[in-house]
Amino acid sequence: MMLLTIIAPPKMEESLVDWLLVQTDIKGFTSQVAYGHGSGHEMSLAEQVSGRRRQVTFMIELEKIRAESILVDLKQHFLGTGLYYWLVPISVSGSV
């Protein structure tokens, strides 16, 4: 299993949620507000003063082959929108 994490600007939240919800192989996902810090982020003057930029994080657990397929579709559908992602293996997951 893999964990796909997507970081999105707030203006992309609703369209990304809608897109993820229609992906038949995604059983569910988690989203949360996050803040980007540092010089790697383009920031407004207000964000520069506060030292952070609001973002939305999405986390999706997927089989490796499906995660790779989702990434191809994501890149095509959201080209140029400023999404950032990473894909890492999950060694253990479950519920208690």
Full-model pTM: 0.87
The answer to whether residue 94 is domain-embedded is: no
Which CATH number belongs to the domain containing residue 81 in this structure? Answer: 3.30.70.120
The answer to whether residue 77 is domain-embedded is: yes
The answer to whether residue 96 is domain-embedded is: no
Quick one: pLDDT band at residue 43, thresholds 50, 70, 90? Answer: low
The answer to whether residue 95 is domain-embedded is: no
Two structure tokens written together for 19: 């897109």
CB atoms within 10 A of CB 1: 13
More confident residue, 51 or 95: 95
Reduced 3-state DSSP string for 18-77: HHHHCCCCCCCCEEEEEEECCCCCCCCHHHHHHCCEEEEEEEEEECHHHHHHHHHHHHHH
The answer to whether residue 85 is domain-embedded is: yes
